[in-house]
Structure 1
Amino acid sequence: MKLNMITLAIIAVFAVLFFHQASGMPWTPSHIVGVAIAAPAVLLLILARLQLGRAFSVRAKASTLVTSGLYSRIRNPIYVFGSLFFVGIIIWTNRPWLLVGFVVLIPMQVYRSRKEAEVLETKFGDEYREYKQKTWF
């Protein structure tokens, strides 16, 4: 439970810092687009994290198969919305060189999602395979 609260607090702190910094900048087109992507992404990231609850872990483990809420449509909403948040930050800061980080992030998330899928499939079998067919990434 302690790790769950720490990760949620880290996400919340980053969100607050981002919005505080964004509020003091001029509203250029790149800032508007960046905030328009990052704001809903971070809110959905926090929602996904809350919906995952105690099933969250840093290492892949299969304690519970979460299939409700955002997880009813997307198997890995934390990765999806975390990536969108990062894209929003790149656009907002108008620093295309940050795409290097994004290019590194995506393969890492694909790798992690595959590892998690293996663990979940081993534990939940057909139930997970059926869930996987109904959801995206």
Structure 2
Amino acid sequence: MRFWGIEPKVALFAFPYALLAFYLNSALGLQTLRFPEVGAVLVIVGVALWLICYLQVSKAYREGELLTEGCYSRVRHPIYSIWGLLIIPGFSFTIGGFMLGLPMVYWFAVVKFIGDEEKALEERFGDGWREYAERTPRFLPRL
């Protein structure tokens, strides 16, 4: 599996919905159900956290190592979680209308394709991955 994991598949799945939502919002003149201030905060926090995780995983990927520390010590897929819980919802709150359904479409695609990425990681890292996956939740940290 390449560095971007399942993200291209998820984007190809979610992008048509986003286009349709933009079209419907425009065609129907929807200006309701918008929360731009909340959306902006979610996007700003999400991008900052994404950058931290991206820098960590980029270094590990270049070195051919399984990353189990930092952001990856709490969940196996923090970048997908950040996009699905902060950035995409923030964007959706800012746009509003039909765009509010985009996070659900995103999560549907992530859940549909995540097995492919985890299989590739297991093949590459073997027992190290299996032990890590056993003790670390996929998307939400344990309390």
TM-score (norm 2): 0.62
CA distance in 1, matches of 2:112, 2:60: 19
CA distance in 2, matches of 1:80, 1:56: 19
Aligned alpha-carbon RMSD (Å): 2.5
| Paired residue type of 1:66 | L
Cα-to-partner distance string for 1:11-50 (whole Å, 9 max, x where unaligned): xxxxxxxxxxxxxxxxxx9222212222111111111111
Q: Residue 125 of structure 1 corresponds to which residue in structure 2? A: 126
Structure scoring higher RCO (CA < 8 A, sep ≥ 6) equals 2
Alpha-carbon offset, residue 129 of structure 1: 1.5
Q: Does 1:49 align with 2:76?
A: no
Q: How does 1:1-137 map to 2 (within 5 A)?
A: 30-54=35-59, 63-83=64-84, 84-93=86-95, 95-137=96-138
Contact 1:73/1:134 (<8 A) preserved: no
Contact 1:34/1:87 (<8 A) preserved: yes
CA distance in 2, matches of 1:31, 1:135: 34
Alpha-carbon offset, residue 77 of structure 1: 1.1
TM-score (norm 1): 0.65
Unaligned runs of 5+ in 2: 5-33, 139-143
SS at 1:74's partner residue? Answer: coil
Cα-to-partner distance string for 1:62-104 (whole Å, 9 max, x where unaligned): x4311111011111111111112010111123x1301343232
Cα gap change, 1:88 to 1:49, in 2 (>3 Å): same
| Paired residue type of 1:79 | Y
The percentage of aligned residue pairs carrying the same residue is: 30
SS at 2:76's partner residue? Answer: coil
| Paired residue type of 1:71 | Y
Contact 2:42/2:87 (<8 A) preserved: yes
Alpha-carbon offset, residue 134 of structure 1: 2.2
Alpha-carbon offset, residue 55 of structure 1: 5.1
CA distance in 2, matches of 1:88, 1:117: 27
Post-superposition, which runs of at least 4 consecutive aligned residues in structure 1 deviate over 6 A? none
CA distance in 2, matches of 1:119, 1:78: 17
